[in-house]
Amino acid sequence: DAGVIQSPRHEVTEMGQEVTLRCKPISGHDYLFWYRQTMMRGLELLIYFNNNVPIDDSGMPEDRFSAKMPNASFSTLKIQPSEPRDSAVYFCASIMTGAGKDEQFFGPGTRLTVL
């Protein structure tokens, strides 16, 4: 398996623009997580899905952030409009639960810079 795939790897945009980050989880995994990592705040859980259904979005910072998972193999995290303080590395992770399989697999991340 190719692991968790994220795109783009790097994104540079201007304040006010819409940004869409994409994630393809590992096939067969039933949970998907979106995280944000910054020097100031460390690793933050933004939202997670179970079988494509959002379970907890309490970590989403503002209404400017939204996430969807239209099917088991694809999820998006959208920021509209983007602001400089959204600059961070965004990670997607997936996991297959049950039978002792409790390791989260992380993607390589998307480094977002908002100018």
Partner 1 sequence: GNSVTQMEGPVTLSEEAFLTINCTYTATGYPSLFWYVQYPGEGLQLLLKATKADDKGSNKGFEATYRKETTSFHLEKGSVQVSDSAVYFCARSIYNQGGKLIFGQGTELSVKP
Binding site for partner 1 (CB under 8 A): 4, 30-31, 33, 42-43, 45, 48, 50, 55-56, 91, 93, 95-97, 100, 102-109
Q: Quick one: 86 or 107, whose CB is closer to partner 1?
A: 107
Residues 6+ positions from 71 with CB-CB distance below 8 Å: 52
Q: Quick one: 6 or 82, whose CB is closer to partner 1?
A: 6
Rounded to a whole number of angstroms, the minimum distance from the CB of residue 100 to partner 1 is 7
Q: Quick one: 10 or 16, whose CB is closer to partner 1?
A: 10
Rounded to a whole number of angstroms, the minimum distance from the CB of residue 91 to partner 1 is 5
Residue 44 to residue 36: CA distance in whole angstroms: 5
Rounded to a whole number of angstroms, the minimum distance from the CB of residue 57 to partner 1 is 13
Residue 115 to residue 112: CA distance in whole angstroms: 10
Q: Quick one: 5 or 64, whose CB is closer to partner 1?
A: 5
